[in-house]
Amino acid sequence: MNESLGMLGLKIRGDQLFFDPCISRVLRIYIVIYQHENARYQITVENSNGVAHGITKIELDGEGQVNGKSIVLQDDGQLHQVLVVLG
């Protein structure tokens, strides 16, 4: 696993990408581009409430994720949009 992903609270286990960001309260947004096989993921972490951790929502390509902490990674050659909202 890439060390910088771990620093941002992202962990890869098999075909899943787990989110557990713990960041400075003053950091309001950051974007990470992650390449998995032939697919790319643009991951936006929003922190408009100024919290250090705690996920309120995860969306993959505009659809809410029910498990709340991870997404399933695809090898489909597409660019995927991921939104992680802290709160």
Q: Assess contact for 56 and 86: CB atoms under 8 A.
A: yes
What CATH number does residue 44 fall under?
Answer: 2.60.420.10
User: Residue 76's domain spans which residues?
Assistant: 3-86
Could you tell me the two tokens for 19?
């989110």
Enter the pTM of the model. Answer: 0.90
Q: What is the pLDDT of residue 4?
A: 60
Q: What is the pLDDT of residue 59?
A: 97
Number of domains in the chain: 1
Q: What is the pLDDT of residue 8?
A: 77
User: What tens digit of pLDDT does each residue of 7-65 get?
Assistant: 678 999 999 999 999 888 999 999 999 999 999 999 999 999 999 989 999 999 999 99
Q: What is the pLDDT of residue 87?
A: 92
DSSP 18-40: EE--B--TT--EEEEEEEETTEE
